[in-house]
Amino acid sequence: MAPAARGRVLAFAFLLAVVTYLDRVCISTAAPSIMKDLGLSFFEMSLVFSAFTLAYSLFEVPSGWLGDVRGPRSVLTRIVLWWSAFTMLTGAAQGLRSLIAIRFLFGAGEAGAFPNVARAFSNWFPTRERGRANGVLFLGSRLGGMLSGPIALVLIARWGWRESFVTFGAIGIVWAAGWYWWFRDRPEDHPSVDRDELRWIRQDEPPAHSGPTPWRTLLASRNLYAICAMYFAFGYGLYFYFTWLPTYLITVLGFSSFSSGLFAALPFLLAGLADLAGGALTDRLSRSHGLRVGRCYLGCAAFGAGALFLFLSTIGWTPIVKAVFIAFALASADLALGACWAVPLDVAPDHAGVVTGCMNTLGNLGGLVGPLVVGIAVDRWHSWTFPFYVTAAVYAFGAIAWLAINPDEPLARKNEESRMRN
CA distance 151 to 46: 22
pTM score of the predicted model: 0.75
CA distance 63 to 58: 10
CA distance 84 to 100: 16
CA distance 331 to 210: 35
Render 79-138 in DSSP notation, one character per residue: HHHHHHHHHHHHTT--SHHHHHHHHHHHHHHHTTHHHHHHHHHHHHS-HHHHHHHHHHHH
CA distance 96 to 400: 39
Closest CA to 286 of 274, 298, 277, 275: 298
Note the helical H segments in 160-194. 161-182
Residue 94 lies in a domain: yes
pLDDT in tens, the chain (422 residues): 445 788 898 999 999 888 887 777 677 778 888 888 888 887 888 788 878 878 888 888 888 888 888 888 999 999 999 989 998 898 888 889 999 999 899 888 888 888 888 888 888 888 778 788 888 888 888 887 777 767 777 778 788 888 888 888 888 899 999 999 999 988 888 888 888 888 888 877 554 455 677 778 888 888 899 999 999 999 999 988 877 888 899 888 988 877 887 888 899 889 989 988 998 899 899 989 999 999 999 999 999 999 999 999 999 789 999 999 999 999 999 999 989 988 988 888 777 778 888 898 899 889 888 888 888 888 888 888 999 999 999 999 999 999 999 988 877 555 544 444 44
How many folded domains does the chain comprise? 1
Q: What is the pLDDT of residue 58?
A: 85
Residue 141 lies in a domain: yes
Q: What is the pLDDT of residue 211?
A: 62
CATH of the domain at 70: 1.20.1250.20
Contact 196, 3 (CB under 8 A): no
Rounded to 5 degrees, what angle do the CA atoms 405, 113, 414 make? 30
Q: What is the pLDDT of residue 401?
A: 97
Residue 171 lies in a domain: yes
Q: What is the pLDDT of residue 412?
A: 55
Scored b (16 or more CB within 10 A) or e, 394-420 reads bbbbbbebbeebbbeebbbebbeeeee
Residue 153 lies in a domain: yes
Residue 99 lies in a domain: yes
Residue 210 lies in a domain: no
Residue 18 lies in a domain: yes
Range of the domain at 82: 4-205+215-421
Residue 236 lies in a domain: yes
